[in-house]
Amino acid sequence: MVATQTFRAPEYAYDPLRRRIQFIDSVNTVTKRYYLDGNQVVDERDAGANRQRYYVWGNYIDELLMFNDDADDDSDYVVCHDQLYSAQALLAKTDGSIAERYDYDAYGKPMIYTATGAGGWWDGNETSAAASAKDLPYLFTGREFDPLDGAALKLQYSRARYYSFNLRRWLQRDSIGYVDGMSLYEYVKSRPTQSLDPSGLLKSYCGCTNAEKKILKADALRAKQSIEILLGDIERAIAADIGEYPAFTGMKLSRAKSILECATGKLDSLGSKCEQTGGQCGAATNAWVNWIFATRIHICPKYFSPSRSPSNRSRTLIHEATHACGTFDGKRSPDFGTIIGWHDNAYTYGWWVDNHFCIPGYDCPE
């Protein structure tokens, strides 16, 4: 007689935007249904639509700040994480005590500790577990940990792909090709201690130097001051009699105002969060914004080149911040000769900063 072993595969469901909206663990008979705000899970429910837990996120797409375990004790927990946004400890919001702590090997395989040893936390004799006793799913780099087949198989869901901690590789090919190198399965070019890949598509380096953070903070402040001046000019133009201006100028100025107000918000976190990325950083690229996950500006090494002036760097931030708020690249001067309108042209805002505010098609130089 030959012994057989039955493996019950997990089941997944996705929406038309390829976001995971349901996970069924057949072994543990657990169903999770996800309710998302953009690309972040904010609410999790069971098969009967009963809330199990909800999440509060920070500025970065995988920066989990707090979650509520509604299914067990309806307690709020604060998540402490490191520079890779990997969870390090879970604190009870009521008294700040440690509820759980987490360690990882170099490639992210989690080690979960649910209770202290005789000598307290970090004494080497803590109680370990295959999964979080508090049901915290977001561990390594802030992405979702899937312990499958009774936790015998440990995977990580990173939106576009699944990552295997045992193989130290992606389980699917990179759908956008050879952007990160010649291997379509290699995880962050084998630099897991200093890199992130929140989308499953592009590696990004984490950890600018303190000197670079100071430069970026000053540049962001300078950029915001320039935006404040532009907003004042735009508000005065909107309030003025615009009957002499070209058609729809008032509407376009209102759009430009909303873009600049949005850009100010995108610049707010740059002073404390600096990320250098290799994803789309070419020889001539200073910074870029991911069109799918437009949550932050990615800074390229060339941004900090000594040959670039502070005003030049600030203009780059304004350009990319407006991209994150819905603008596109057009001609490098604000005129009507582009496919897109000047109000949706990122170069318009940089031109205004370098030169002066004017109404394209009316009093701007050709």
Q: Give me the mean pLDDT over the 116-121 stretch.
A: 90
pLDDT over 50 at 336, yes or no: no
Instruction: Answer with the residue of higher pLDDT: 72 or 149.
Output: 149
- Looking at residue 96, what is its pLDDT? 92
Confidence of residue 324 (pLDDT cuts 50, 70, 90): confident
pLDDT in tens, 216-233: 889 999 999 999 999 999
Instruction: Report pLDDT digits (tens) over 229-266.
Output: 999 999 999 888 667 778 788 899 999 999 999 999 88
Where are the domains positioned within the chain? Answer: 11-194, 207-354
Q: How confident is the model at residue 308 (pLDDT cuts 50, 70, 90)?
A: very high
Average pLDDT over residues 302-312: 90
Question: Which whole number is the average pLDDT over 130-155?
Answer: 90
Q: Which has more confidence, 253 or 149?
A: 253
Q: Output the CA–CA distances (angstroms, integers) from residue 301 to 28, 207, 281, 309, in the order listed.
A: 46, 12, 8, 15
Give exposure, 329-357, as e/b (b: 16+ Cβ within 10 Å): ebbebbbeebeebbbbbbbbbbbbbeeeb
Which carries the bigger pLDDT value, residue 299 or residue 170?
A: 170
Least-confidence region, from 31-40, 122-131, 325-334:
325-334
What is the predicted pLDDT for the residue at 272?
A: 45
Q: Provide mean pLDDT across the span 60-87.
A: 87
Output the pLDDT for position 337: 46
Q: pTM to 2 decimals?
A: 0.61
Pairing of strands 204-205, 64-69: unpaired
Q: Report whether pLDDT(51) > 90.
A: yes
User: How far is the C-alpha of 158 from the C-alpha of 169, rounded, in Å?
Assistant: 12
Burial of 316 (0-12, 13-18, 19+ CB in 10 A): buried
Higher pLDDT, 331 or 210: 210
State the average pLDDT for the chain.
85
The tokens 């109404």 sit on which residue?
Answer: 359
Query: Vertex 206, ends 200 and 208: CA angle to 5°?
Result: 155
Q: HSE (CB half, 13 Å, CA atoms) of 56?
A: 10
Rounded Cα–Cα distance for residues 1 and 101 (Å): 46
How many degrees, rounded to 5, is the angle at CA 116 between CA 112 and CA 121?
A: 85
Residue 340 has pLDDT above 80, yes or no: no
Q: What pLDDT was estimated at residue 201?
A: 86
User: 175-201 pLDDT, tens per residue?
Assistant: 888 877 789 999 988 889 878 888 898
Q: What confidence score (pLDDT) does residue 233 get? A: 94
Query: Hey, what are 309's tokens?
Result: 């002036």
Domain 207-354 sits in CATH 3.40.50.150: no
**Confidence (pLDDT) at 291:** 58
Question: In terms of pLDDT, which residue wins out, 278 or 34?
Answer: 34
